[in-house]
Structure formats: C-alpha cells, structure tokens
Chain A
Amino acid sequence: MDPRELTIDQVRLLLDRGEASAVEICQAHLDCIAQRNPETRALLHQDAAAALEQAAQIDRLRKAGQPLPPLAGVPLVIKDNISIRGQRCTCGSKILENYQALYDATVIARLRAAGSLFVGKANMDEFAMGSSTENSAFFPTRNPHALDYVPGGSSGGSAAAVAAGMAVGALGSDTGGSIRQPASFCGVVGVKPTYGRVSRYGLVAFGSSLDQIGPLARTVKDAARLLGAIAGRDTHDATSATLAVPDYVAAIENPVKGLKVGLPRQYFKAGIAPEVTARIQAGLKLLEQLGCELVEVDLPHTEYAIACYYVVAMAEASSNLSRFDGVRYGLRVHGEGTLTGMYRETRDAGFGNEVKRRIILGTFVLSSGYYDAYYLKAQKVRTLIKQDFEKALAKADVIASPTSPTPPFRLGEKSSDPLAMYLSDIFTITANLAGIPGISLPCGRTSSGLPIGLQLLGKHFDECTLLRLGHAFEIAGGFALN
C-alpha cells in the first residue's frame, strides 16, 4: 500500500476485501507523515492517538458486520484554521499558538460522521493571509515536488500533504484562491465551492463574505466525494445555502461533449509565464478534443478586481481579527498593566507583519471619511464583477484560465514584495468576489517538473459541471492516478 496512490474508493476496497484494516491504513499515513513531514513541514501538529482511535472504531464496526459510513477509514489532513474539538487550532499564528478548539466545525462533524480520520493539522499562511505558506508564524512549508519551492498558499500545508501522500485528501479554505493556487502548485485537485455551499461554522474567519472551505485531493472523484460529504445547509451558518446537495460522484460520469468553455480575453494578456501559457494552451486543446467548444468571453472589470478584493478582504479581516485581544483565549501579554497596553502588546507579539499590514489597511478603508471612497466603492465594483461573470457564464458553461500566472516560485523569491504576491492572485480572486465555484486541475508540468494548474470557474452552485469536466480532463490528460 503506497499512500501516495490511494484513493477513497481504494481505501474502501481494502477495507471491504479485508486486505487492510482502518488502523493499518491510518498507520501507513502516519508513517508517511513521519517520513515526509520533516522535509516538507506540511503539518503543524497532529493527534495520532485520536486518529488511530477513530480508525479502531471503524475496525470495530467492520468486525461487528455493521455497514460502514461513506468515508470510513479515509485519512484527511485539515487546514489549521478549521476547528477540531480538543485539538489546537493555531491558524498559523502565534496569537493562537496554544488555543484548543472547544467544538467541531460543521465540516468536521460531518466528516467525523462519515467515518474519516483526521491525521494532522496543516500549515498555512497566518490567518490564511498569503499565497506561499511563508507567512506561517511557525515555519514555511516546502513543495513536495521541489523542496526549494513554495507549495502555494494559504492552504499550502493541505496541498503539500495530499501531494506527498500524508493523507488521501485535505480540507483547505479559499478566500482569494487559497485552495486553488496551492493545489495548482502541488499538482493536486482543489475545489473552491460556491459561497454558501459549505458551512463556515468553525472556520476561523478571514474575509467572511469570501471564505469557503473546500476539498483538496489527488483525483477529481475524491474531491467530489469529499465535497458531497461537507456540503449542505447548516443551521449554525446563516449564509449557508438551503439548496439540496446533488450527487457529485454520479455527476462526474456525465458526458462533456458540447460544453462551452469561455476564455476571458482579459485573462490571456501579458503577464503569464511562458511555460504556464504553453501548458494551458495544451490543456485547452485537450478540452477541444473532448468535444468542448472554446468561446471568447468578456470580463471587462477584471483590472479593478485586485484592488476591490483587497479592500473587501482587508476590511472584513480587520474586524474579524478584533476578537484576538488577549482577554479570553490565546496569547496574552500583560503590557504595562493597562488595558490598552495589554491589547497593544498582545496583538503586537501575536500577529505577524502581513496580518498587521492587512488589519491596518482594513481599518483605514472602513474609517469615517474614507469608507465611501474605499469600502463602498469596492462593493460597487464587486457588483460589477459579479455581473461580468453572470454575462460571461450565460455564454459559456465554464470559464477556463491558468490558476496562477506563474509556476511555483522559490522560497523567499516574493516574500519581500507583498504587492507582487497580491498580483499573483489575479485569476483566483474574482471567483470569491462573484461567489462562484472554481476548481484547479493538474495540467502538466514545467520543464523542471513543477506542477501547473488549469482553473475552471462555473455558475453558482454548478460544481457538477466543474467536476464532470475536470474528471474527463484528468483522465484524458493522464493527470489522474487512475
């Protein structure tokens, strides 16, 4: 059993045939973690005993001849901004270094009920702010395909863990591309669901109107299974949609011939690395061979997207991070014994530079006298961007683009230039602004073997078409494991 090649279906087969116990499957992944984590540093912490106990419960069910839940014995890695009761939930931040979650996030409760095992909590950019996992307050994660390179971010630990075989799948969170971009950099599948498709309850908020939890996996089918397990209405999240959850796994088998693939003219301009352009062009050709029709679409407000995104995301973040004040949990630095001293010194010691930068910018754009010029204007632009997508997706079933304009970059290469880092989010942030779903699919590699990702964006709540086309694409391209 090579954990790097296991899929959810194969885990089930091993269990059903009695070829391996859940404990053995779990142990194989723990071994893989022991072997690969010291070099990749994908995980921040783990509770191996809890995972093995979950596995033992599955084995007890098997022995008793009880039916197994759908994700029985499937080892998963969870981004460390998603609460698992009794485990630390650091968000990659010093301010929550010793914070233990009091409750299960809704997605965790659902995965627990579905029988999956939580083998580790994944490293991330602090509070999901970053695109390389270098902003983790603890250590950067390295790309398992090339250790000098970043795994992307902010869900870099989740993507690296799946690529390295530490888990069959992972959960990440995506506020501006934080699932799709690391999936692209690590050569795995990453899905950002429609806003409201998956409950955010228990996800430590960054940009509340943009955040979505989604799966990372080595195959589209596995991503579909994981999405099916976590999606759906949650009474603890007022923004979760009441819409019924379709059978994503059944949907991927449907034919893709005749699907219209929109290519935004604004996305294929200068600024994309040549090797990325080459792989994406090949990928688009493959889509044509699958019977898809490529059509040009227009997203005229693209040039305002980055500014709009950062205003909205930082405004929400500045408010969301106010609760980390040293009063009830997490880090507390007493200061000179005054209340403001405690606030100042706790937050100064607890937050990293990127987080502070965003809190300051977010506070500024919401300030009296600036609100209209920044926050309100950004909201108006956001509406225009949403409308752009509505029009474009009336002409096309999906929209294709590179996930990232560049292949994975080296550690330290961009960390001194936050603006360059922000600009690399251009293809992914629009989906969060518009609330539409997106998927990043492996789409070949650079000459030096670094993964490149193709992004497909779809209509609201039409994850089915993304998964279905992704499934056909990975099989046709030989990108999938099986």
Chain B
Amino acid sequence: MRYEAVIGLEVHAQLLTKTKIFCTCSTAFGAPPNTNTCPVCLGFPGALPVLNREAAIMASKAALALGCKLNPVSIFARKNYFYPDLPKGYQISQFDRPLAEHGSITIGSNGSSKQVRIKRVHMEEDAGKSIHDGFADSSRYSYIDLNRSGTPLIEIVSEPDLHSPDETHDYLTRMKVILEYLEVCDGNMEEGSLRCDANVSVRLAGESKLGIKTELKNLNSFRFLKNALEYEISRQIQVLEEGGAVVQETRLWNTAEHRTVSMRSKEEAHDYRYFPEPDLPPLVIDNAWESEIRASMPELPDAKRARFISQYGLPEYDASVLTTSRALADFFEETVSLCQSAKAASNWIMGDLLRDLKEFNRTIGESPVRPRAIADLIRLIESGEISGKMGKDVFEAMFRERKSPQEVIAERGLKQITDLGTLERIIREIVAANAKTYEQYKSGKKAALGFFVGQVMKATQGQANPQLVNELLRKILDA
C-alpha cells in the first residue's frame, strides 16, 4: 500500500452524574423540553457556575483509567462563540491546563497490540439542542431545548496514532468499555452520550511528515465512524493521486449520501477567544483526593481479562469476550461461583446466552436466564442427568419461557435414560430390525455404528445417555 492514513480522535463522553456540571438541575434524559433548567444553565443575567464535585470525580476516574496523569491544578476556560443553544455565548471548558494528560489505550490483541497515546482529558459543559425540523413553522424558526445545557462532558483527545478505520474502531470500543466499567458514561452513541470527531490525513507510506488533515463530524455510531473514515481516506488518496492537495477543513459525514461533505473551511474556523473562566477557581486535586478516587475505581477491562485467563484458565478469546462489559464479566463470575466450572460457564454464556440475547435484542442485565440457572444447567449435565445435547434444548426453553432447567426437564420429561436394562432392550430391538446394516457392520463397515446410535437416540427421543448407548452398542454389535 502506497499511502498511510493518520487518524486522531476527539471523543466527547457525557458523565452519568445525577445533576449538571455547574448547577443542580437533573441530567435525566427525555424530560419535556426546557424543564430541567434554572438561571444557571439558561444563562440568565447574574447566574454563576459552581462545579459539581461528582463530575470532577467521574472525570478523574476516566482520566486515571485511561492512564493519564491528573494535573494537581486544572483551570476552566471560556470558549466563546455564538449559537442559540449555547445560552451564555460561551462554553465553560478547559484549555491551557486540562484535568489530565499523557495517557494511552492498548489496542489489538496479544500478538499485535499497540499503544494509542491520549493527549489530554478535559472537562466541559454540554450545550442545548437546536431542533430544526418537525414543527409547523420549522421553515421559519428553529426551536431550542436547553435540558442538555450544562450536562457534564469529558473530551478525550488522542494523539494521531491510529492508522486505519479498524484501529480507530478498536480504540473507540475499548474506550467505551473502560468508561462503561467505571460507570461514568453509558456509552450510547445513538443517544449522543458518546460522540466523536476524527482528524484524518494521509501520507505516503514511510513519510514522517503529517499530511494536511480534515476534521470529520457527525460520526454518531461505530458504523458511521468506520464508513466515514473509509470514505475520507480514499477521497484524500484520490485527491493526491490526481495531483491535487487536500484542503484543511471541517467535513460532515452525510449518512444518506454515504460521503463526507465540506462544512467549513479553515478560514471560516471560529476564533474561540479562550481565556480563564473568572467565575470558577482552579480545580485542585491533591494527592489525598486522587488516592481516594483511585481507591473507588473498579477493576478495569485489561486487568480483568488477564485475571480471567490466570484464575479460570480461560483461553484469551473467551476472556476477551467475557470482559467486553462489566455486567457480562460479573454474570460469568457469578455463574462460576455457583457451579465451579469456568470453561463450561464460558461456553454457555459466550455461545447460547449471547446468541439469544442478540436475537431478542436484550442486554445482559435483561437476560431472562440468570447465573443460577446456567450453573444448575451445567451441574445437571455434569452429573449426567441430561445430555449436553438435551442441555441445548433445555437452555432454549429456559430463555424463552423464563424457567429454571429443573422446571423444563420436569415438564418435558426430559430425564436421560441411564438404565442399562432399558437401553439394552431398545438396542437389541433396533439391531434385530436392521439386520442388513448389522451384517454390513459385521463385515467391517464400522461407520454403521453411527447409524445405530442415531436410531437409538431417535427411539428414545434423544433421552438416551449417548455414552452408555455407545458402550452398549459396541458390546452387542461386537459380541
């Protein structure tokens, strides 16, 4: 490949505080427009911001989990621009001295992992929402909902260390998982609680100088992010191939047309006139407070994955899948604690459970099958009460009918047939009824064994213990 893409990501994550960053209004989603508001978040004359301590704690947790160093003193700054959904005419953000700097996220898998450096993490307030469509007079007016105004955000800025849409996808996924683990952000890109902009440039492979970049906006899902990056990288390559030069500008991903379109040029870029916010004293996080914040942080995905491998002897793949969310990892651990069979638990959860959850569009928290039920199912199989194959059917019923495995087994009379006398009688009947196949077996066609096993299972509606059937068949056929 002649060209290399260089990508940096700016991620905005809404923090899950109960109240807004500079006032005590609720951050609840979905309230009637402009009801979660007060003089502060409406930008009324004379109102002043006061920092929500919880927001500072959540932001710090995120920064620490992303490997950043917290600045002992960080400074809020005003970012000045006019827009109707920005009530004060400026956004309170951080500029010169952000909350934290110099972190990283490891992407890729063991074989080919790499570090993506994080330049900075800073705190800021969200703006309101402008609503341009959906009203009778939308052709003449826009409406504004300021419920979101003042919702706490962190902005996480990466260094330009990403070189493909896949890497970028991986980076954002891992960040999302980390934020979810910390319970500081719900990671919902569709609802806008996690948003990202990407800076993209291309250069000849081997070149060390960065190319001219464009900034991509409106990347509201993982799919859009990947599509937009793919499009933009090939667009830039084409421009260069045709002897042109990439124009530094902001481009918007147009979902409908499946392309990026120019939004504003470098010349039209805002001069935000940042200056230190005089209404807020610097945020001071001393060692004691930092330790307290660290102590309140949960085990993070990388550590948990490593522990699942060492503690439960899981393959790396299993450990990776099971740690994609804290809820899933907790579900797994609870299951193991009830049945003591880690690999079996992993198989059931990764296989049947995740498949059914996906099919029914449920989260792990909404799973109708709880760890206790899976543990019971595993024990029933291990004790030989039902076969593994029967277990599959039992699980399906457990999931769809919200029943315990014991209930399903009892209702359907699914007990495994382990009585030797019964099985031997059935086998002899089948062998007698299939004399021709018996002859073939006897003349050396050992594959006929499978036919007899199938017939026995059919005759017992799958309830025969397969191991016993195999043993008995051999004994009878080879006699």
> Which A residues have a C-beta under 8 Å from some C-beta of B?
81-83, 89, 91, 96, 99, 101-103, 105, 200-205, 207-209, 235-239, 315-316, 318-319, 321-323, 325, 327-329, 337, 339, 343, 363, 366-368, 371, 375
Contacts and interface: CB of A to CB of B under 8 A. Distances in A.
Contacts of A200: 46, 48
Contact of A322 (B50, B51, B89, B281): B89
Given A319-B89, A323-B89, A329 B46 contact: no
Nearest to A362: B273
B77 to A, nearest CB: 11
A207 B278 CA distance: 9
B82 A322 contact: yes
Contact of B281 (A99, A203, A205, A238): A238
Nearest to B34: A328
B73 interface: no
B47 interface: yes
Interface of B: 39, 42-51, 78, 80, 82, 84, 87-90, 140, 144, 271, 273-275, 278-281
Contacts of B50: 235-238
A96 B84 contact: no
A322 B88 contact: yes
Secondary structure of the B side of the interface? Answer: loop
Given A81-B46, A201-B46, A322-B88, 9 more contacts: A203-B46, A238-B280, A239-B281, A319-B89, A325-B82, A328-B43, A328-B87, A329-B45, A366-B274
A238 B275 contact: no
Q: Which 4 residue pairs of A and B lie closest in terms of their CB atoms, listed nearest first?
A: A322-B89, A366-B273, A209-B278, A208-B278
Given A102-B39, A366-B80, A375-B275, A329 B44 contact: yes
Contacts of A366: 80, 273-275
A237 to B, nearest CB: 5
A204 B44 CA distance: 9
Among B48, B82, B84, max chain A CB count under 10 A is at B48
Contacts of B88: 322-323
A328 B87 CA distance: 8
Contacts of A318: 80, 273
A111 to B, nearest CB: 15
9 contacts: A200-B46, A201-B47, A238-B49, A322-B82, A325-B89, A327-B144, A328-B87, A329-B45, A371-B273
Contacts of A83: 45-46
A185 B144 CA distance: 47
Contacts of A329: 44-45
A204 B281 contact: no
A205 B40 CA distance: 13
Most B-side CB within 10 Å, residue of A82, A99, A101, A366:
A366
B156 to A, nearest CB: 24
B84 A204 contact: no
Contact of A319 (B46, B78, B140): B78
A325 B88 CA distance: 9
A237 B273 contact: no
A126 to B, nearest CB: 13
A315 B44 CA distance: 20
B76 to A, nearest CB: 10
Contacts of A103: 39, 44
A204 B140 CA distance: 32
Contact of B51 (A81, A238, A321, A375): A238
A52 to B, nearest CB: 26
Contact of A202 (B46, B89, B278): B46
Given A102-B39, A367-B273, A204 B89 contact: no
Nearest to B89: A322
A367 B78 CA distance: 13
B43 A323 contact: yes
B46 A315 contact: no
B45 A323 contact: yes
B243 to A, nearest CB: 33
B250 to A, nearest CB: 17
Nearest to A240: B48
B84 A339 contact: yes
Contact of B45 (A91, A235, A327): A91
A102 B39 CA distance: 8
B465 to A, nearest CB: 72
Nearest to B144: A327
B44 to A, nearest CB: 6
A318 B273 CA distance: 10
Nearest to B42: A328
B45 A204 contact: yes
Contacts of B274: 366
B84 A325 contact: yes
A205 B46 contact: yes
Contacts of A327: 84, 87, 144
Contacts of A363: 273
B80 A208 contact: no
Contacts of B87: 323, 327-328
Nearest to A347: B82
Contacts of A91: 45
B78 to A, nearest CB: 5
Given A323-B89, A363-B273, A238 B279 contact: yes
A453 B47 CA distance: 33
B279 A367 contact: no
A368 B273 contact: yes
A83 B47 CA distance: 10
Nearest to A208: B278
A65 B50 CA distance: 40
Contacts of B47: 201-202
A96 B48 contact: no
B23 to A, nearest CB: 9
B389 to A, nearest CB: 66
A424 B145 CA distance: 46
B80 A204 contact: no
B217 to A, nearest CB: 19
A239 B43 CA distance: 18
Contacts of B280: 238-239
A376 to B, nearest CB: 9
Contacts of A239: 48, 278-281
A343 B43 CA distance: 16
B321 to A, nearest CB: 46
